Structures are given as C-alpha cells and as structure tokens.
Amino acid sequence: MKNLIVSNLELSTTELDYSSLASAMEQLDWHAIDQAPWVSDYPYVPQARFQIAYDGMAIYLHYDIQEEFVKAQYIRPNENVWEDSCVEFFVSFDNRENYYNFEFNALGTGLIGYGPAVKTDRSRLSAEEILRVDTFSQLRTVQGQKSWQQILIIPFDLLSQKAENLKGKTVFANFYKCGDGLPQPHFIAWNAIDNPKPNFHLPNFFGEIKFQ
C-alpha cells in the first residue's frame, strides 16, 4: 500500500489563477499515477502525476497530464466526465466505510459522489455544491505533444470536515486518470488495484494519506 504526506501549506491568500497557485505549490513532491492494472486490455498509459496540500480552508490538488488525445465534451456538473480526459480523487475519512469521489475533466467540469462502495447506496452532490470547487486549468500542445494541468480547491465545509480535526490524521484515498470515451481508453491509479475489470470504486485498494 502506498502512502504520502499531505503538506500543510497556507494557500488561502494566493491569487486565484493557475500560475500563482502552481508557483505556490512548486516545492511540493510530485506523486505518479502510474499503476495500470488493466494494461493487457487497455495498453495505452498516459503520463500523470499530482501534488496535494491543505490549509485551514481547503484541500488543494494539482494534476499534470500528458496524453495523446485530450477530450472535454461535458460542460455541466454531474455529467459523464469520466468519458472525457478526466482526473479523479477518491477519499474516505471514516476508515473506508464511505468515501467521496471527485471527478473533473480538462475543462474543470465536475462530478462528486458520496456513500459506501455499493453504488446503489451512493448519492451525488448538487450542481450548486459541485460548483463550489474552484478549478484552474491550462492546455498546451508543443511539437504535437499535448499536456494539460489542473488545480482543484476543495473546501472543507463541502466535506463536513475541519482542517484541525485532520491534522496528524491518516485517511484512505486514491488518485486516478481515465478517459473512457477517448480513442485510446485508459484507467490508471496511484495505488494499485487488484480486480479483473476496471473499477475505481474499490476502497479496499485505497492508499494512506496523512495530513501533516
């Protein structure tokens, strides 16, 4: 099982644009999303990595993706963003009994669910709640190579969590990159998953993240 430290970094006073936030996070470690459990059926594996931090107000996620095709079709909250170029963050604060799934495409369109692993018992947050997650994205093509970056700011009050309650606490999470509807579908994870078919909704395979 992988583990990492979520750095405590005061970012609430940083200018709200991609460049300023990325610069403020530049000293953080990068973590690779490089586990491809279903590579025999889905051989294409894009390059994906992330940084993570928190302060008294929010969790901050910074993704850096390089892939051959970038697709961003969905524009409304809770649409099928996993069919686009999509990054995902699943996190459980109660020992994997329930978890949030944050799924955002390259445009910053989001889907957020909550509940146990049984999908019929899960619910989605409202569009108004999802839009409270600030997103900052950029896309580049250099010599034919496409890359995109995204920063998400997930406020703690959306999670019914308080930063002070998480300080020093270890919770369970996983980070993903997917693109079900791309010319080269792929499903990759930070922490490895042992399952015959692609499925990110398996909290038993979440890794450990400790809040500094």
CB-count burial class (<10 Å; 0-12, 13-18, 19+) for 194: exposed
Which pLDDT score is estimated for 129? 98
Positive or negative CA dihedral for 57, 99, 83, 199? Answer: positive
For the CA atoms of the chain, what is the radius of gyration? 16
3-211 CATH choice from 3.10.180.10, 3.20.20.70, 2.60.40.1190, 3.30.450.40: 2.60.40.1190
Positive or negative CA dihedral for 138, 200, 203, 49? Answer: negative
DSSP code for 71: -
Residue 65 contacts residue 177 (beta carbons within 8 Å): yes
Which pLDDT score is estimated for 45? 98
The tens digit of pLDDT for each residue in 137-175 reads: 999 999 888 999 999 999 999 998 899 999 999 999 999
H/E/C letters for each residue in 127-196?
A: HHHHCCCEEEEEEEEECCEEEEEEEEEEEHHHHCCCHHHHCCCEEEEEEEEECCCCCCCCEEECCCCCCC
The whole-angstrom separation of Cα 44 and Cα 129 is: 34
Number of H-type helices and E-type strands within the chain: 4, 13
Which pLDDT score is estimated for 77? 98
Q: What pairs with residue 87 in β-bridges?
A: 104, 177
Cα dihedral 119→129→154→101 (10° resolution): 10
- Dig out the tokens for 42 from the structure: 């889905």
pTM comes to: 0.96
Which pLDDT score is estimated for 121? 87
Residue 78 contacts residue 111 (beta carbons within 8 Å): yes
The whole-angstrom separation of Cα 178 and Cα 89 is: 11
- Phi (first) and psi of residue 48, to 5 degrees: -145, 140
The tens digit of pLDDT for each residue in 83-95 reads: 999 999 999 999 9
Q: Name residues of the chain where pLDDT drops below 70.
A: none
